[in-house]
Amino acid sequence: MNQEIKNKFENFEPDVPIEIWSNIQNSILSNASASEPFSKASSISSGMVKVIMGIVAFVALVSTSIWYLNVPNTKETNKESVTEIANNESTPMPVAQDTELQNISNTTQNIQTNDQPSDKQTALTGHNVVEIPTPQPENKLLQIPVDKSNSKIVSIEGQTETCSGKIQLKPNVNGGVWTTRSAASIVPLSNGRVEVISSSTKPVVVYYQLDQNLDSVTLTFYQKAEKVPYKVIDATCSKNDGQIWIESTSNRTFSLFNSNQRNSLQNVGLGVHRIQVVDQYNCYYELTAEVRQTEMKSVISVQALNYIVDYPVYFKCTDIDEQTQVLWNFGDGSTSSDVEPMHRYKTAGNFQVELQFTKGNCSQTVNYSNLKIEDKNVSFANVFSPNNDNQNDIFKVSAPSNLKSFEAKIFNRSGQMVFHWSDSTIGWDGRLPDGQDAQSGTYYYWVKGVDSQQKMFEHRGFVELVR
Protein backbone atom coordinates (compact mmCIF):
# COMPACT_ATOMS: atom_id res chain seq x y z
CA MET A 1 0.00 0.00 0.00
CA ASN A 2 2.84 2.40 0.86
CA GLN A 3 4.45 2.12 -2.52
CA GLU A 4 1.15 2.59 -4.28
CA ILE A 5 0.41 5.78 -2.42
CA LYS A 6 3.92 7.00 -3.00
CA ASN A 7 3.56 6.40 -6.72
CA LYS A 8 0.33 8.29 -6.84
CA PHE A 9 2.10 11.41 -5.63
CA GLU A 10 5.28 10.92 -7.64
CA ASN A 11 4.09 13.10 -10.48
CA PHE A 12 1.47 15.02 -8.61
CA GLU A 13 1.86 18.56 -9.88
CA PRO A 14 -1.26 20.57 -9.18
CA ASP A 15 -1.78 24.06 -10.53
CA VAL A 16 -0.17 26.63 -8.31
CA PRO A 17 -2.24 29.63 -7.28
CA ILE A 18 -0.72 32.54 -9.11
CA GLU A 19 -0.59 34.88 -6.13
CA ILE A 20 1.99 32.72 -4.36
CA TRP A 21 4.84 33.86 -6.58
CA SER A 22 4.12 37.50 -6.05
CA ASN A 23 3.77 36.93 -2.32
CA ILE A 24 7.14 35.19 -2.23
CA GLN A 25 8.76 38.04 -4.08
CA ASN A 26 7.25 40.51 -1.66
CA SER A 27 8.46 38.49 1.30
CA ILE A 28 11.96 38.42 -0.12
CA LEU A 29 11.85 42.13 -0.75
CA SER A 30 10.64 43.01 2.69
CA ASN A 31 13.30 40.75 4.17
CA ALA A 32 15.98 42.45 2.19
CA SER A 33 15.02 45.87 3.47
CA ALA A 34 14.48 44.73 7.04
CA SER A 35 17.55 43.35 8.72
CA GLU A 36 15.81 40.45 10.44
CA PRO A 37 16.59 37.52 8.26
CA PHE A 38 13.62 35.25 8.44
CA SER A 39 11.20 35.78 11.24
CA LYS A 40 9.30 38.37 9.30
CA ALA A 41 8.89 36.32 6.24
CA SER A 42 7.61 33.35 8.10
CA SER A 43 4.89 35.39 9.69
CA ILE A 44 3.51 36.47 6.39
CA SER A 45 0.43 34.62 5.43
CA SER A 46 -0.97 34.53 2.00
CA GLY A 47 -4.25 36.23 2.67
CA MET A 48 -2.63 39.27 4.22
CA VAL A 49 -0.01 40.13 1.71
CA LYS A 50 -1.10 42.64 -0.80
CA VAL A 51 0.60 42.76 -4.12
CA ILE A 52 2.49 45.95 -3.73
CA MET A 53 4.41 46.68 -6.83
CA GLY A 54 5.66 45.68 -10.15
CA ILE A 55 4.00 42.34 -10.15
CA VAL A 56 0.86 41.99 -12.06
CA ALA A 57 -1.12 38.89 -12.44
CA PHE A 58 -3.52 39.27 -15.23
CA VAL A 59 -5.48 36.12 -15.09
CA ALA A 60 -8.02 35.83 -12.37
CA LEU A 61 -8.91 32.33 -11.41
CA VAL A 62 -12.40 32.04 -12.55
CA SER A 63 -14.74 29.65 -10.95
CA THR A 64 -16.49 27.57 -13.30
CA SER A 65 -19.44 27.36 -15.34
CA ILE A 66 -20.84 24.86 -17.70
CA TRP A 67 -23.71 25.52 -19.91
CA TYR A 68 -25.19 23.86 -22.84
CA LEU A 69 -27.32 24.63 -25.81
CA ASN A 70 -29.73 22.18 -27.19
CA VAL A 71 -29.22 21.97 -30.89
CA PRO A 72 -31.92 20.71 -33.19
CA ASN A 73 -30.97 17.19 -34.00
CA THR A 74 -29.49 17.75 -37.41
CA LYS A 75 -26.16 16.48 -38.48
CA GLU A 76 -25.20 19.61 -40.37
CA THR A 77 -25.23 21.72 -37.26
CA ASN A 78 -22.97 19.23 -35.61
CA LYS A 79 -20.47 19.38 -38.36
CA GLU A 80 -20.35 23.13 -38.19
CA SER A 81 -19.65 23.19 -34.53
CA VAL A 82 -16.95 20.63 -34.88
CA THR A 83 -15.27 22.66 -37.57
CA GLU A 84 -15.33 25.72 -35.36
CA ILE A 85 -13.57 23.86 -32.66
CA ALA A 86 -10.98 22.60 -35.06
CA ASN A 87 -10.27 26.11 -36.25
CA ASN A 88 -9.78 27.37 -32.75
CA GLU A 89 -7.46 24.57 -31.90
CA SER A 90 -5.21 25.10 -34.84
CA THR A 91 -4.43 28.74 -34.12
CA PRO A 92 -0.67 28.83 -34.55
CA MET A 93 1.42 29.68 -31.56
CA PRO A 94 4.80 31.18 -32.34
CA VAL A 95 6.50 29.57 -29.36
CA ALA A 96 7.72 26.02 -29.26
CA GLN A 97 5.21 23.61 -27.81
CA ASP A 98 7.56 21.68 -25.63
CA THR A 99 7.86 24.29 -22.95
CA GLU A 100 9.11 21.94 -20.31
CA LEU A 101 12.15 21.21 -22.38
CA GLN A 102 12.59 24.80 -23.30
CA ASN A 103 12.49 25.90 -19.68
CA ILE A 104 15.26 23.56 -18.79
CA SER A 105 17.43 24.53 -21.68
CA ASN A 106 16.85 28.16 -20.79
CA THR A 107 18.06 27.56 -17.31
CA THR A 108 21.18 25.88 -18.50
CA GLN A 109 21.84 28.58 -20.99
CA ASN A 110 21.36 31.36 -18.46
CA ILE A 111 23.77 29.88 -16.07
CA GLN A 112 26.40 29.10 -18.61
CA THR A 113 26.49 32.70 -19.72
CA ASN A 114 27.25 33.82 -16.21
CA ASP A 115 30.75 35.01 -15.74
CA GLN A 116 31.52 33.07 -12.59
CA PRO A 117 32.82 29.80 -13.92
CA SER A 118 34.95 28.98 -10.91
CA ASP A 119 32.03 28.97 -8.52
CA LYS A 120 29.83 26.58 -10.39
CA GLN A 121 28.37 23.63 -8.63
CA THR A 122 26.60 20.80 -10.32
CA ALA A 123 23.29 19.50 -9.20
CA LEU A 124 20.72 17.19 -10.56
CA THR A 125 17.26 18.39 -11.20
CA GLY A 126 15.13 15.57 -12.36
CA HIS A 127 17.05 13.91 -15.14
CA ASN A 128 18.70 17.04 -16.40
CA VAL A 129 22.02 18.33 -15.29
CA VAL A 130 21.77 21.94 -14.33
CA GLU A 131 24.65 23.99 -13.13
CA ILE A 132 24.02 26.31 -10.29
CA PRO A 133 26.62 28.89 -9.34
CA THR A 134 27.31 29.54 -5.72
CA PRO A 135 26.56 33.19 -5.20
CA GLN A 136 29.43 35.40 -4.11
CA PRO A 137 29.51 36.04 -0.38
CA GLU A 138 29.34 39.78 -0.85
CA ASN A 139 26.21 39.53 -2.96
CA LYS A 140 23.27 41.16 -1.39
CA LEU A 141 19.75 40.07 -1.82
CA LEU A 142 18.43 41.10 -5.11
CA GLN A 143 15.74 43.67 -5.14
CA ILE A 144 13.21 43.61 -7.86
CA PRO A 145 12.03 46.18 -8.57
CA VAL A 146 14.81 48.43 -7.38
CA ASP A 147 12.52 50.91 -5.77
CA LYS A 148 8.85 51.44 -5.58
CA SER A 149 8.69 54.24 -8.09
CA ASN A 150 9.80 51.85 -10.78
CA SER A 151 6.62 49.90 -10.58
CA LYS A 152 5.09 52.65 -12.62
CA ILE A 153 7.43 52.11 -15.51
CA VAL A 154 5.53 49.24 -16.97
CA SER A 155 1.84 48.66 -17.21
CA ILE A 156 -0.39 46.16 -18.86
CA GLU A 157 -2.25 47.58 -21.76
CA GLY A 158 -5.70 46.98 -22.99
CA GLN A 159 -8.12 44.30 -22.28
CA THR A 160 -6.37 41.19 -21.11
CA GLU A 161 -7.59 38.12 -22.82
CA THR A 162 -7.28 35.04 -20.77
CA CYS A 163 -6.35 31.87 -22.47
CA SER A 164 -4.90 33.62 -25.50
CA GLY A 165 -1.30 33.32 -24.41
CA LYS A 166 -0.71 36.95 -25.31
CA ILE A 167 -0.53 40.15 -23.40
CA GLN A 168 0.52 43.67 -24.31
CA LEU A 169 2.76 45.76 -22.11
CA LYS A 170 3.29 49.46 -22.27
CA PRO A 171 6.28 51.36 -20.87
CA ASN A 172 5.31 54.51 -19.03
CA VAL A 173 8.82 55.83 -19.53
CA ASN A 174 10.33 55.45 -22.96
CA GLY A 175 13.80 54.30 -23.89
CA GLY A 176 14.09 51.05 -22.01
CA VAL A 177 14.92 47.56 -23.20
CA TRP A 178 12.62 44.58 -22.84
CA THR A 179 14.05 41.20 -21.96
CA THR A 180 12.87 37.91 -20.67
CA ARG A 181 14.53 34.67 -19.79
CA SER A 182 11.31 32.80 -19.53
CA ALA A 183 9.79 30.68 -22.24
CA ALA A 184 8.18 33.59 -23.94
CA SER A 185 8.80 35.75 -26.92
CA ILE A 186 8.59 39.51 -26.98
CA VAL A 187 7.23 41.09 -30.14
CA PRO A 188 7.89 44.83 -30.42
CA LEU A 189 4.93 47.05 -31.28
CA SER A 190 4.81 50.79 -31.85
CA ASN A 191 5.90 53.36 -29.25
CA GLY A 192 7.95 50.92 -27.24
CA ARG A 193 4.96 48.70 -26.54
CA VAL A 194 5.48 44.98 -26.75
CA GLU A 195 3.40 41.91 -26.98
CA VAL A 196 4.51 39.00 -24.81
CA ILE A 197 3.54 35.61 -26.14
CA SER A 198 3.91 32.42 -24.23
CA SER A 199 2.66 28.91 -24.63
CA SER A 200 3.69 28.01 -21.11
CA THR A 201 1.34 28.03 -18.21
CA LYS A 202 4.21 28.78 -15.88
CA PRO A 203 4.79 32.38 -14.79
CA VAL A 204 6.79 34.47 -17.20
CA VAL A 205 9.03 37.23 -15.90
CA VAL A 206 9.53 40.16 -18.24
CA TYR A 207 12.16 42.77 -17.45
CA TYR A 208 12.25 46.37 -18.55
CA GLN A 209 15.67 47.92 -18.20
CA LEU A 210 15.80 51.68 -18.08
CA ASP A 211 19.25 53.04 -17.30
CA GLN A 212 20.01 51.69 -13.85
CA ASN A 213 16.41 50.93 -13.07
CA LEU A 214 14.97 47.54 -13.67
CA ASP A 215 11.31 46.79 -13.59
CA SER A 216 9.86 43.37 -13.90
CA VAL A 217 6.44 42.06 -14.55
CA THR A 218 5.41 38.55 -13.72
CA LEU A 219 2.81 37.32 -16.10
CA THR A 220 1.00 34.07 -16.00
CA PHE A 221 -0.28 32.74 -19.25
CA TYR A 222 -2.90 30.11 -19.44
CA GLN A 223 -3.27 28.08 -22.51
CA LYS A 224 -6.13 26.36 -24.04
CA ALA A 225 -5.38 22.67 -23.85
CA GLU A 226 -4.29 21.19 -27.17
CA LYS A 227 -7.01 18.64 -27.07
CA VAL A 228 -10.34 19.20 -25.43
CA PRO A 229 -9.51 18.14 -21.89
CA TYR A 230 -12.97 16.85 -21.19
CA LYS A 231 -14.98 13.96 -22.36
CA VAL A 232 -18.54 12.88 -22.10
CA ILE A 233 -18.69 9.72 -20.07
CA ASP A 234 -22.39 9.19 -20.02
CA ALA A 235 -25.40 10.57 -21.77
CA THR A 236 -28.64 8.89 -20.99
CA CYS A 237 -32.25 9.67 -21.11
CA SER A 238 -33.70 7.13 -18.80
CA LYS A 239 -36.77 7.41 -16.70
CA ASN A 240 -34.52 9.19 -14.20
CA ASP A 241 -34.42 12.08 -16.60
CA GLY A 242 -31.85 13.04 -19.17
CA GLN A 243 -28.39 13.62 -17.89
CA ILE A 244 -24.90 14.06 -19.26
CA TRP A 245 -21.81 13.31 -17.25
CA ILE A 246 -18.59 15.05 -18.17
CA GLU A 247 -15.20 14.07 -16.91
CA SER A 248 -11.95 15.93 -17.05
CA THR A 249 -9.25 13.98 -18.84
CA SER A 250 -6.45 16.20 -17.68
CA ASN A 251 -5.74 18.12 -14.52
CA ARG A 252 -7.98 20.89 -15.72
CA THR A 253 -10.96 21.33 -13.55
CA PHE A 254 -14.26 22.95 -14.09
CA SER A 255 -15.51 23.16 -10.59
CA LEU A 256 -14.38 24.83 -7.44
CA PHE A 257 -12.98 21.65 -5.99
CA ASN A 258 -9.87 20.03 -7.32
CA SER A 259 -11.04 16.61 -6.40
CA ASN A 260 -14.20 16.95 -8.38
CA GLN A 261 -13.18 15.93 -11.87
CA ARG A 262 -16.71 15.11 -12.86
CA ASN A 263 -19.77 17.11 -13.37
CA SER A 264 -23.21 16.49 -14.67
CA LEU A 265 -25.98 18.25 -16.47
CA GLN A 266 -29.46 17.30 -15.49
CA ASN A 267 -32.84 17.54 -17.17
CA VAL A 268 -31.36 17.92 -20.60
CA GLY A 269 -33.75 15.79 -22.55
CA LEU A 270 -33.27 13.95 -25.78
CA GLY A 271 -31.18 15.09 -28.70
CA VAL A 272 -27.76 16.49 -29.48
CA HIS A 273 -26.38 18.96 -27.01
CA ARG A 274 -23.50 21.33 -27.42
CA ILE A 275 -21.78 21.73 -24.11
CA GLN A 276 -19.44 24.59 -23.47
CA VAL A 277 -17.01 24.02 -20.67
CA VAL A 278 -14.89 26.70 -19.09
CA ASP A 279 -11.86 25.53 -17.21
CA GLN A 280 -10.25 27.23 -14.27
CA TYR A 281 -8.18 29.41 -16.60
CA ASN A 282 -11.30 30.61 -18.35
CA CYS A 283 -10.50 28.67 -21.50
CA TYR A 284 -13.49 27.57 -23.48
CA TYR A 285 -14.09 24.12 -24.91
CA GLU A 286 -16.98 22.64 -26.66
CA LEU A 287 -18.23 19.10 -26.51
CA THR A 288 -21.18 17.48 -28.07
CA ALA A 289 -23.22 14.75 -26.56
CA GLU A 290 -26.21 12.96 -27.87
CA VAL A 291 -28.76 11.86 -25.39
CA ARG A 292 -30.60 8.84 -26.65
CA GLN A 293 -33.24 6.61 -25.33
CA THR A 294 -31.66 3.96 -23.21
CA GLU A 295 -32.92 0.46 -22.94
CA MET A 296 -35.57 0.30 -20.29
CA LYS A 297 -34.95 -2.10 -17.52
CA SER A 298 -38.40 -1.55 -16.14
CA VAL A 299 -40.79 -4.43 -16.52
CA ILE A 300 -44.54 -4.37 -16.69
CA SER A 301 -46.26 -6.92 -14.56
CA VAL A 302 -49.87 -7.88 -15.05
CA GLN A 303 -52.02 -9.54 -12.46
CA ALA A 304 -55.55 -10.79 -12.54
CA LEU A 305 -57.58 -13.51 -10.98
CA ASN A 306 -59.07 -14.25 -14.37
CA TYR A 307 -57.90 -13.03 -17.71
CA ILE A 308 -61.43 -12.83 -18.89
CA VAL A 309 -63.61 -10.17 -20.41
CA ASP A 310 -65.05 -7.84 -17.77
CA TYR A 311 -62.74 -9.08 -15.07
CA PRO A 312 -60.33 -6.67 -13.45
CA VAL A 313 -56.74 -6.82 -14.65
CA TYR A 314 -54.14 -5.01 -12.57
CA PHE A 315 -51.08 -3.37 -14.10
CA LYS A 316 -47.83 -2.44 -12.42
CA CYS A 317 -44.40 -1.40 -13.53
CA THR A 318 -41.12 -1.57 -11.65
CA ASP A 319 -39.16 1.57 -10.86
CA ILE A 320 -41.90 4.12 -11.20
CA ASP A 321 -41.91 6.84 -8.64
CA GLU A 322 -44.32 9.60 -7.88
CA GLN A 323 -42.49 12.13 -10.02
CA THR A 324 -42.82 9.97 -13.09
CA GLN A 325 -45.68 10.76 -15.35
CA VAL A 326 -47.11 7.64 -16.88
CA LEU A 327 -49.50 6.92 -19.67
CA TRP A 328 -50.80 3.40 -20.00
CA ASN A 329 -52.23 2.25 -23.28
CA PHE A 330 -54.08 -0.99 -22.75
CA GLY A 331 -54.12 -1.88 -26.40
CA ASP A 332 -57.88 -1.80 -26.75
CA GLY A 333 -58.03 1.93 -27.30
CA SER A 334 -58.33 2.92 -23.68
CA THR A 335 -55.65 4.65 -21.66
CA SER A 336 -54.92 5.56 -18.07
CA SER A 337 -52.54 7.88 -16.30
CA ASP A 338 -52.73 6.05 -12.99
CA VAL A 339 -49.41 4.73 -11.80
CA GLU A 340 -50.89 1.33 -11.06
CA PRO A 341 -54.14 1.10 -12.99
CA MET A 342 -56.86 -1.53 -13.15
CA HIS A 343 -58.55 -2.22 -16.42
CA ARG A 344 -61.47 -4.42 -17.53
CA TYR A 345 -61.32 -5.53 -21.12
CA LYS A 346 -64.61 -5.47 -22.95
CA THR A 347 -63.63 -7.85 -25.71
CA ALA A 348 -61.50 -10.92 -25.95
CA GLY A 349 -58.21 -10.93 -27.82
CA ASN A 350 -54.46 -10.52 -27.63
CA PHE A 351 -53.50 -7.08 -26.47
CA GLN A 352 -50.25 -5.16 -26.60
CA VAL A 353 -49.91 -2.99 -23.53
CA GLU A 354 -47.70 0.04 -23.73
CA LEU A 355 -46.43 2.25 -20.95
CA GLN A 356 -44.94 5.64 -21.62
CA PHE A 357 -42.83 7.27 -18.92
CA THR A 358 -42.29 10.96 -18.92
CA LYS A 359 -39.96 12.70 -16.54
CA GLY A 360 -38.56 16.12 -17.20
CA ASN A 361 -37.67 16.16 -20.84
CA CYS A 362 -37.29 12.45 -21.25
CA SER A 363 -39.85 9.96 -22.19
CA GLN A 364 -39.60 6.28 -22.79
CA THR A 365 -41.84 3.44 -23.69
CA VAL A 366 -41.95 -0.07 -22.39
CA ASN A 367 -44.16 -2.83 -23.78
CA TYR A 368 -45.97 -5.91 -22.63
CA SER A 369 -47.11 -8.02 -25.51
CA ASN A 370 -49.57 -10.84 -25.78
CA LEU A 371 -51.91 -10.14 -22.97
CA LYS A 372 -54.52 -12.76 -23.68
CA ILE A 373 -58.05 -11.97 -22.62
CA GLU A 374 -60.65 -14.68 -23.04
CA ASP A 375 -64.35 -14.69 -23.47
CA LYS A 376 -66.44 -15.67 -20.55
CA ASN A 377 -67.28 -19.31 -20.83
CA VAL A 378 -68.90 -19.34 -17.46
CA SER A 379 -70.27 -16.46 -15.46
CA PHE A 380 -71.34 -15.85 -11.90
CA ALA A 381 -73.29 -13.38 -10.04
CA ASN A 382 -71.06 -11.72 -7.54
CA VAL A 383 -73.78 -11.49 -4.95
CA PHE A 384 -76.61 -13.79 -3.89
CA SER A 385 -79.28 -13.78 -1.22
CA PRO A 386 -80.54 -17.18 -0.05
CA ASN A 387 -83.83 -15.99 1.48
CA ASN A 388 -86.24 -18.06 -0.61
CA ASP A 389 -87.62 -15.06 -2.50
CA ASN A 390 -86.75 -16.85 -5.74
CA GLN A 391 -84.37 -14.14 -6.68
CA ASN A 392 -80.69 -15.09 -6.62
CA ASP A 393 -81.30 -17.61 -3.92
CA ILE A 394 -78.57 -19.86 -5.21
CA PHE A 395 -74.98 -19.11 -6.18
CA LYS A 396 -74.80 -20.81 -9.53
CA VAL A 397 -72.48 -21.01 -12.43
CA SER A 398 -74.03 -20.01 -15.70
CA ALA A 399 -72.12 -22.32 -17.91
CA PRO A 400 -72.81 -23.48 -21.41
CA SER A 401 -74.34 -26.90 -21.51
CA ASN A 402 -72.49 -30.15 -21.93
CA LEU A 403 -69.32 -29.38 -19.98
CA LYS A 404 -66.88 -32.25 -20.03
CA SER A 405 -66.11 -31.78 -16.37
CA PHE A 406 -66.96 -29.39 -13.58
CA GLU A 407 -65.86 -28.76 -10.05
CA ALA A 408 -66.64 -25.88 -7.70
CA LYS A 409 -65.69 -25.05 -4.14
CA ILE A 410 -66.66 -22.34 -1.70
CA PHE A 411 -64.36 -21.21 1.08
CA ASN A 412 -65.06 -18.97 4.02
CA ARG A 413 -62.78 -16.20 5.16
CA SER A 414 -60.70 -18.41 7.33
CA GLY A 415 -59.96 -20.67 4.40
CA GLN A 416 -62.24 -23.56 5.32
CA MET A 417 -64.20 -25.17 2.56
CA VAL A 418 -67.86 -24.78 3.30
CA PHE A 419 -69.41 -26.31 0.20
CA HIS A 420 -68.45 -28.08 -2.96
CA TRP A 421 -70.31 -29.47 -5.94
CA SER A 422 -69.51 -31.08 -9.25
CA ASP A 423 -72.77 -30.74 -11.09
CA SER A 424 -72.95 -27.45 -12.91
CA THR A 425 -76.70 -27.43 -12.90
CA ILE A 426 -76.88 -27.03 -9.16
CA GLY A 427 -75.30 -24.40 -6.93
CA TRP A 428 -74.80 -23.27 -3.35
CA ASP A 429 -77.89 -22.38 -1.40
CA GLY A 430 -75.99 -20.66 1.36
CA ARG A 431 -76.13 -23.48 3.87
CA LEU A 432 -73.22 -25.05 5.69
CA PRO A 433 -72.57 -28.81 5.62
CA ASP A 434 -74.36 -29.17 8.99
CA GLY A 435 -77.48 -27.53 7.55
CA GLN A 436 -77.06 -24.20 9.35
CA ASP A 437 -77.33 -20.96 7.39
CA ALA A 438 -73.99 -19.51 6.54
CA GLN A 439 -73.40 -16.01 7.82
CA SER A 440 -73.63 -12.98 5.60
CA GLY A 441 -70.29 -11.95 4.24
CA THR A 442 -67.73 -12.51 1.56
CA TYR A 443 -66.88 -16.00 0.37
CA TYR A 444 -64.25 -17.18 -2.02
CA TYR A 445 -65.11 -19.40 -4.91
CA TRP A 446 -63.00 -21.62 -7.07
CA VAL A 447 -64.43 -23.14 -10.22
CA LYS A 448 -62.63 -25.42 -12.57
CA GLY A 449 -63.72 -27.42 -15.56
CA VAL A 450 -63.36 -28.41 -19.19
CA ASP A 451 -65.82 -27.09 -21.71
CA SER A 452 -67.30 -28.77 -24.74
CA GLN A 453 -64.34 -27.69 -26.89
CA GLN A 454 -61.94 -29.47 -24.54
CA LYS A 455 -60.83 -26.08 -23.23
CA MET A 456 -59.92 -25.88 -19.61
CA PHE A 457 -61.15 -23.05 -17.51
CA GLU A 458 -60.41 -22.01 -13.99
CA HIS A 459 -62.00 -19.09 -12.15
CA ARG A 460 -61.51 -17.70 -8.72
CA GLY A 461 -63.14 -14.80 -7.05
CA PHE A 462 -65.33 -13.47 -4.30
CA VAL A 463 -69.00 -13.62 -3.88
CA GLU A 464 -71.07 -11.68 -1.40
CA LEU A 465 -73.70 -13.53 0.60
CA VAL A 466 -76.52 -11.22 1.67
CA ARG A 467 -79.42 -12.28 3.84
Partner 1 sequence: MNRDKNDIFADLYKQHASYMYGVCLRYTKDADDAKDVMQDGFVKIFQSLDTFRGEANIKTWMRTIMVNTAINFYRHKHILQLESVDQAYTAHMPQTDETVISKMTTDELLSIINLLPDGYRLVFNMYVIEGYKHKEIAEMLGITEGTSKSQLSKAKSYLQVLAEEKLNINVENVKY
CB 181 within 8 A of CB 206: no
Min separation Cβ 132 and partner 1, Å: 6
Among 35, 72, 87, 140, the residue binding partner 1 under the rule CB under 8 A is 140
Please tell me whether residue 110 binds partner 1 under the rule CB under 8 A: yes
Which C-beta is closer to partner 1: that of 202 or that of 344? 202
d(CA 384, CA 404): 26
Which residue in 124, 175, 211, 370 binds partner 1 (CB under 8 A)?
Answer: 124
Least distance CB 256 / partner 1 (angstroms): 11
For residue 10, what are the CA distances in angstroms to 3, 17, 78, 248?
A: 10, 20, 41, 20
Q: Is residue 64 part of the contact set for partner 1 (CB under 8 A)?
A: no
Which residues of 147-266 form beta strands (DSSP E)?
154-157, 166-171, 177-180, 184-188, 194-198, 203-210, 213-220, 230-238, 241-248, 262-266
Paired sense of beta strands 383-384 and 456-465, if any = parallel
Contact pick of 51, 71, 130, 305 for partner 1 (by CB under 8 A):
130
Given 34, 60, 62, 142, the residue binding partner 1 (CB under 8 A): 142
46 binds partner 1 (CB under 8 A): yes
**Position 121 contacts partner 1 (CB under 8 A):** yes
Stretch near partner 1 under the rule CB under 8 A, chosen from 17-25, 81-89, 315-323, 363-371:
17-25
Q: How far apart are CA 257 and CA 254, in angstroms?
A: 8
Considering only residues 202-241, where is the footprint of partner 1 by CB under 8 A?
202-203, 205, 212, 214, 234, 240
What burial class does residue 160 get, using C-beta atoms within 10 Å of its C-beta: 0-12 exposed, 13-18 middle, 19+ buried? Answer: middle
Torsion of CA 194, 199, 203, 209, to 10 degrees: -30
Note whether 15 binds partner 1 by CB under 8 A.
yes
Pick from 5, 118, 370, 414 the residue near partner 1 by CB under 8 A.
5
Which CB sits closer to partner 1, 212 or 454?
212
The nearest distance, CB 202 to partner 1, in angstroms, is 5
Least Å from the CB of residue 58 to partner 1: 17
Q: Give the residue with the Cβ less far from partner 1, 102 or 356.
A: 102
Interface pick for partner 1 out of 21, 411, 421, 446 (rule CB under 8 A) = 21
Residues with Cβ within 8 Å of 332's Cβ and at least 6 positions away in sequence, in order, are: 345, 346, 347, 349, 351
Torsion of CA 348, 351, 357, 362, to 10 degrees: -150
